[in-house]
Amino acid sequence: MNELVERIGKCIEFGKINLSSPYPQNMRGQEGADELTKLALDEKIGPDVILLACNEAMQRIGDKFAGNEVFVPELLMAAKAMNTVMLHLKPFFQAGKIKSKGKFIIGTVAGDLHEIGKNLVGMVVEGNGWEVMDLGVDVKSSRFIETIKENPDCTVGLSALLTTTMVNMSKTVRKIKTQFPDTKVIVGGAPLTLKAAAEMGADGYAPDPQGAVTLLNKYFASA
């Protein structure tokens, strides 16, 4: 792999956003994902090559997070660095030079205003090459339905942090599946379990951001 591309991957894995970013301390004063991505594109390195290296870096930090080797702040910084790269690569997605893995609609279900987990999942999923549509918090079933109608080939992610809102999540899953039986729905959040997800009729359960990415890439990515 090109040395410059390897450096971009390292910036993603360790959360080095740009030159002025003080984090991580051992990379202080070095160019970050922002500057290195610009340089790589100027040197005519393919955007698909850059994206692949970034996806691999996100996989590494995701695996560390799943293994409790790093925690939410480190994962958040990696996602921010990845989003910085994505700002440079989005024009290539729009021009069709990079193929998106698919569309991912995400939202926190009705009655629940928690968004930190949802936001983190959205950032990590986008960093792995998906087009993410974040509907926000307290999202009613009708809003999910409307968005699916506009994006029929999407995958849907539902988030809930409160045990009391799991009822609304279950209702939303049923309504989606009634109208769009082929639309894949994955669920996640603190009160969720694999058993609860199955009982709702969801197609998958993700305990953390990397779990969502693994599910999406393995089962739901477009060919």
- Predicted confidence at residue 103, as pLDDT, reads 95
Task: Give the Cα separation of 188 and 39 in Å (integer).
Answer: 38
In this structure, what token pair is assigned to residue 23? Answer: 């984090």
CATH number of 3-94: 1.10.1240.10
- Residue 87's alpha-carbon distances to 94, 127, 210, 222, in angstroms, are 12, 10, 21, 22
What stretches of 99-152 show up as alpha helix (H) in DSSP?
Answer: 116-127, 141-150
Other Cβ atoms closer than 10 A to 35: 18
Q: Domain limits of the chain?
A: 3-94, 103-220
- Predicted confidence at residue 192, as pLDDT, reads 93
Same fold for the pair 3-94 and 103-220: no
User: pTM of the full predicted structure?
Assistant: 0.78
In this structure, what token pair is assigned to residue 221? Answer: 């990515």
- Predicted confidence at residue 223, as pLDDT, reads 55
- Predicted confidence at residue 185, as pLDDT, reads 97
- Predicted confidence at residue 203, as pLDDT, reads 96
Task: Give the Cα separation of 184 and 87 in Å (integer).
Answer: 27
Which one, of 25, 121, 7, 129, lies nearest residue 65 by Cα?
121
- Predicted confidence at residue 206, as pLDDT, reads 94
> Among the CATH numbers 3.30.465.10, 3.40.50.280, 3.30.1330.20, 1.10.1040.10, which is that of 103-220?
3.40.50.280
In this structure, what token pair is assigned to residue 90? Answer: 């989005």
Strands in 204-205's sheet, in edge-to-edge order, are 131-134, 103-108, 155-159, 184-188, 204-205
- Residue 154's alpha-carbon distances to 11, 92, 131, in angstroms, are 30, 20, 9
- Predicted confidence at residue 1, as pLDDT, reads 60
- Predicted confidence at residue 100, as pLDDT, reads 85
User: Mean pLDDT per segment of 10 residues, for the chain of length 223 residues?
Assistant: 92 97 95 97 93 88 88 89 90 81 96 90 85 96 98 96 94 97 95 94 92 89 71
